[in-house]
Every structure is written in C-alpha cells, then in structure tokens.
Chains A and B, each alone.
Chain A
Amino acid sequence: MRYPLTEEERMIQKTARDFARRELAPVAVEANRTGVFPEGIFRKLGDLGFMGITMPEEYGGVNLGNFCLVLALEEISAVCASTGVTMSVHNSLTNWCILKYGSEKLRKRFLPRLASGEMLGAYAITESEAGSDVAAMRLSAVLKGDEYILNGAKILISTGDKAGAIIVFARTDPHGRTKGISAFVVEPSFPGFSVGKVERKMGLKASTTVELVFEDCRVPAENLLGTEGMGMKIALAGLDGGRIGIAAQSLGIAQAALDEALRFTRERKQFATRIIDFQSTRWKIADMATGIEAARLLMYRAAKLRDAGEPCSKEAAMAKLSASGTANRVVYDALQMHGGVGYTEEFLIERLYRDARVTELYEGTSEIQRFVISREVIDDYERMIPD
C-alpha cells in the first residue's frame, strides 16, 4: 500500500518483516499445527525491541508509538497471528497498564523484564458471566491487612499460563457496578493462583487461552494499579490500545490471505484459463484489496490519535470493527478462490481462515465496537444540534 512512511518507520517495518520471514515462518506452521507455544520467539522479539515498543527507554523500552507498534504487529501477524496476538496483548495492554497506572515500584519490577521478552504479559477481564457485559464480573478482591484476597475465576485469557505479569480486574466493591472494579498485577507465584482449563481452539493454536482460578489468592496491596474503583476506566482505556493492536493482527491475516489468493489463482488453471483471469475473481480481488487498505487507514488514524494523546475510543473501535470484518471476508473469498485444495492443510489459507474468526469476537465483539461507535457518533451529533 502506498503510504508516506518516514525512513525510520520503513526500517522498523522491514526489521519486523525480515524477522517474521526468517525466524518465525520456519516454526509457525509446526507451532500452529501442534499447538506448541513458541517460547523462544519472544526473547528474540524482545532483543530487537518489539516487546517494549511503546515503553519509555528508562524501563527498557524503545519509546516508539502505537503507529510503529501496528507496523510491526501487522508484519508479525501475517506470518503467525498467534504470535501477533501474544505480542499485541503484551504491548498494548499489559505494558501500557503498568506504565500508566502502576507505582514506580511496580514499573521497575515488571517493565524491564517485559521489555526484554523474558516475561510475557496477559490481561484478565472476561468471566463466564461477564463477556461483553464487563461490569457483571464477580471475581472478588477483599482487602485484608496489606493484601487483597481474590476469589473467583477468569476465562479465555490469552497467554494466562505463560505470563509472568497478569493484569487482573476484580470487584473490590460488591455494591458498585462499574465503579466497584479495581485492577491488579498478579504474578503466577502468588499463593492461591492456578491455571485451570487450557482451551483447544478453532484457530490461533500457537497462542494459549486458559482459565485462571483464584482461591483465596493473596495479592500484595502494592500491586493495585491506580486506586480502588478505577478498574473500569483502566480496562476501557486499555482496550482502546488493545483494539488498535487487534486491528493490526486482523490486517496481517487479511493481507496474507490476499497474497495467498493472488499466488494461487495466478498458477491454477481450469478451462484453459488462469483463475486470476476470470472477471469474477478480479472483482473479488478489488474488493478484498480495497477493504484491507481502508481498514488499514482507519487503523493508522487511530494509532496516530493515540500517539498524540488524543481520545480515540471511537476511532479504535472503527479500526477494529473494520479490520476484523475485512479479515473474515477476505479469508472467506481467498479460500473460495482456492477451491477444494484450500480446505487442506497443504495450503496456508486453511489456517488463516480459522485464525481470522476470533478477531470479531475478542477484545470486544463487533457488536460492542458498534455500540462504542454509535454512542459517540450520536453524542457528537447531539452536541451539534441547537437546543
């Protein structure tokens, strides 16, 4: 896509692309097939600076913004969307949360190790009764002396069994709804913490998705992020960045699918014609490419707003909605272009198709994104019309 990037941005994108091709591609197929988490990759990513992209240098990061983060995430995700989501959650959610709301002590304790990739980050909001309805969460946190005692469980947590720092959202006030939630940094070594069910999923098989169980889990009070009751605010603000990251992951999948479709249809002949020479194929390709570039521009815009410190909830939601929807449409069309062989493991599109589906489900379903977008659009409109 022709888009003005600075020399530095081009170099960052190139390093991500070269790394993805040379280091990640050889292990991606196997890792996704066997469901083995590619542990070693994150240290290598950390060495190159990719695990602390938006973190300040004083904590070991490289202090580049969300724009550079999405450039890198898209390249990594095009080769392995599982690695992409792990890297996205780590950077946009865990790193960001501790940086913005952690005490200096917490920052010093976690950020350098997160930046180097020796420690991975996770983000635990979802519960069995609290998906889109975040405020319905019931994991409780009761202050006892200088510790909070957590009881309950979180489900569908990415990297939950591999992370060294998990941002956990729990209810400190049983009576408040949105105001009674607080955020903590939980380490797996805390007594009472355990990993429950490890999910087997349709896609993103090289990323882990687990249940986290808290049974009188003791979390030091100093691990509270911000103050009690700030949890909802933190969760939603974090998700703005997280959604931009997932947009990048979605676009990586989409671009890879389009490239696969182009490659296949150029070679495959039926009725003495290359599939790519049928007009119906070409129109599909046009729509796929347009959808990708449009979503990418929405993502770039959201990333730049966030980097400028401006509010970007609507824009992040638009980016995620558009990118995830596009990714699912593109993989569908790309698979259709492959015909039957595309359904086999011999072709990449088979994995891309399965990987794409979750992008409309996590970090806020597409319905939630529409909720966020419409609310702000309508609010803006209300503000404009005279009383």
Chain B
Amino acid sequence: MANDILVFGEVRGGGIKKITKELIGAARRVAQAGGGAIDAVLVGALARKAAEGLTGFGLRRIIVAEDELLGRYSTEGYAAVLSDVVKRNGYSYVFLGATAMGRDLGPRATAKTDGVMFSDCVDVRMEGVQCVARRPVYSGRVYVEIVRTGERPNFISIRPNNIAPADPSGGETPIEAHQSIVSREAIRAIVTEIIPLEGGRPDLTEADVIVSGGRAMKDAANFKVLGELADTLGAAVGASRAAVDSGFAPSAIQVGQTGKIVNPKLYIACGISGAIQHLAGMRTSKVIVAINKDPNAPIFERATYGIVGDLFEIVPLLTEEIRKIL
C-alpha cells in the first residue's frame, strides 16, 4: 500500500480548528521517515473556505466535501465520506483529532474501511518504518506504545495540545472537491440543535482544575483575582479552612476533610501553607502548583511546581499568560 497520509481536519466557523495543524505536525513525522504524501480532507459547510487556511502547509492536496447533507456533523454522513476517501486513495495512515467529532467518527470510519484505530494518542514517532503511537491507558495511570500489524489503514486520533502544531512551509496546495456519495436515508442520526455551555463554574468536587486561596488572601474581595484565573481555566474556586474561618470565603467552597474532598487534574494553591489538614482534601490532585511568599511553606514539599512570591503579583500574570495560549 502507498505510504500516503490523510489528515482529517476539523472545520469550525469557516476556519480550521487548531488541532488540524497539530495533526499535520504528526503527519510530517511519518512522512519524513517513510516518504509518502500528506493530504487533508475537510467536510462540512464552509469546508472550502476553511481549506484556504491550510494551503501553505506543503500538503499534496486538500479534499473538500461540501454536500448540503454534510452541513452539520453526522456520524454516518462523515464516516461515509471519510471511508470513501480512504478507500479510493489507499492511505496508510489517517490522523484525526481526539475531539468529540474525532472520537465519534474515527471508529466508525475504521470499521467501514476494515482498518485499525489507535485512540487518544499523545505522541507518534517512527521507529524504523513503523509508526509507534503512545497512548494512556487505565485512566492515564500508565502508557502503552503500539504499532499496527499487517497492512490495514491505521487511523490514529491525537489528543489536542500534545504535538507541536506544524508551521506553514509556503507554497500552494490544490483543492479538490469530493464527489458526493451521501444519501439522506443513510444518515439516521442527525444533529438538530447545538446548545452552548452555560456560564458558571464547575462543581468543586467534579472540577478538573481548581484555584484555591488561603489565609494570605487577606480579604474576601481579593478572591476576585482567583476567580479571574479560574474563569480563564474553566476552573472552580476553593478555599482553605484558614481562609474560611477568617471570613474570606464561604464554607461551601472549603477544601479539606471537614469541607469538600476534591480530585482535580490541576490544583493551584495560592497563599496556602500546606498544613496537613488542608491536604486531606486535595491529596489526590494530579498536579499541584504552589504559590507562596514563604519559601519554607510545607506546601512546597507536596507540590509539583512551586513559585515563591507574592500571589497578588503572580496570579494576575498567570491569568494573562494562560489567556495567551488558550
């Protein structure tokens, strides 16, 4: 089979989602070692317009499928198109984003093309002529590296923000229209409405990211600074017992044994000393960032990353820097 690679790009509002450039970055790694051309396929209303954003990346061609039946995402519509494109061109690898769309589309298209799919990968690299994909298993407690056996099309979905996005390399890329093959009857589940997320912060006990303040907050009003960081991260705001007892925060957001037990991926502790009482509530956080004026604060022993300094200086800077990259 050819060594060619297909990148399934996601279209959003007339442009391409950032993940698409990361997929091209991954595809380039494979192409570098194994030869082969990189094509992209874009599906949906405004796909052609979105394709214009991809023309300077050294791709061989960009296939666009703009049938009106594909205006909104549907598993069966998109899977039919993707599998048709794959079958016609005999790609060796197909990269998709591990996004809501990619996770739904990938396995169905894999089934239609009798391929094999590696889901939610965090890295791909070539070892000899083989593409080795690394993916987390057991809810991220360990990684496994896998390769395809045999010659089937290898669908690989890649988690956003794991592979460096490709930089434009100049030049022009031809855009090709895909011959419509979709019929209305073939699409049995259709999106009728898209409901945007309501505002409001996640529940503390379910939040993936928590920004928490301690006694050093000095005032209830100062929690606003943490709130801004939290909103940038889509996080919940918590407080230590000391902060609650001092009246700086309501007891409903107290993290600790007598408050809420939390389990986020990221816990940012601002002005919290890290005494063992507070830790009972957030011990299982995957990553703990500690910001404290006192370099000897016990929290630094438990944290993953620490910055010594004034939280009122650091937290706004952190909010700013994170806004730049998200």
Contact = CB atoms under 8 A, between A and B. Distances in A.
Determine whether A and B are in direct contact in the complex, meaning some CB atoms lie less than 8 angstroms apart.
yes
Nearest to A33: B258
A345 B277 CA distance: 10
B257 interface: yes
Interface in A332-356: 341, 344-348
Given A346-B241, A346-B256, A346-B258, A341 B279 contact: no
Contact of A341 (B256, B277, B283): B277
A337 to B, nearest CB: 13
Q: Is the interface of A mostly helix, strand, loop or mixed?
A: loop
Contact of A268 (B241, B257, B276, B283): B276
B257 to A, nearest CB: 6
B276 A341 contact: yes
Nearest to B205: A26
Interface residues of B, number: 9
Contacts of A347: 257, 277, 280
A341 B258 CA distance: 13
Contacts of A341: 276-277
B150 to A, nearest CB: 41
A29 interface: yes
Interface in B240-258: 241, 256-258
The range of chain A's interface size is 10 to 19
A18 interface: no
Interface string A98-141: 00000000000000000000000000000000000000000000
A267 interface: yes
A174 to B, nearest CB: 52
Contacts of B280: 346-347
B189 to A, nearest CB: 33
Nearest to B279: A267
Contacts of A267: 276, 279, 283
A48 B280 CA distance: 31
Contact of A348 (B241, B257, B276, B283): B257
B204 to A, nearest CB: 13
Contacts of A268: 276
B300 to A, nearest CB: 13
B257 A346 contact: yes
Contacts of A264: 276
A29 B277 contact: no
Nearest to B241: A346
B258 A29 contact: yes
A264 B279 CA distance: 11
Interface string B171-197: 000000000000000000000000000
A182 B131 CA distance: 84
Contacts of B258: 29, 345-346
A182 B37 CA distance: 94
A211 B256 CA distance: 37
Contacts of A29: 258
A118 B194 CA distance: 44
Contacts of A348: 257
Interface in B245-295: 256-258, 276-277, 279-280, 283
A343 to B, nearest CB: 12
A100 B257 CA distance: 44
A339 to B, nearest CB: 10
Interface string A141-176: 000000000000000000000000000000000000
A267 B257 CA distance: 15
A347 B241 CA distance: 12
Nearest to A347: B257
Contacts of B256: 346
A341 B276 CA distance: 9
B246 to A, nearest CB: 15
A113 to B, nearest CB: 35
Which of A345, A346, A348 has its CB near the most chain B CB atoms (within 10 A)? A346
A341 B279 CA distance: 13
A156 B238 CA distance: 42
B299 to A, nearest CB: 13
B272 to A, nearest CB: 14
Contacts of B283: 267
A308 to B, nearest CB: 42
B167 to A, nearest CB: 46
Interface string A199-231: 000000000000000000000000000000000
Contacts of A344: 277
Interface string A230-267: 00000000000000000000000000000000001001
A346 B245 CA distance: 12
A130 B60 CA distance: 96
Contacts of B279: 267
Given A29-B258, A268-B276, 5 more contacts: A267-B283, A341-B276, A346-B256, A346-B277, A347-B277
**Shortest 3 CB-CB contacts between residues of A and residues of B:** A346-B277, A346-B257, A346-B258
Interface of A: 29, 264, 267-268, 341, 344-348
Interface of B: 241, 256-258, 276-277, 279-280, 283
20 contacts: A29-B258, A264-B276, A267-B276, A267-B279, A267-B283, A268-B276, A341-B276, A341-B277, A344-B277, A345-B258, A346-B241, A346-B256, A346-B257, A346-B258, A346-B277, A346-B280, A347-B257, A347-B277, A347-B280, A348-B257
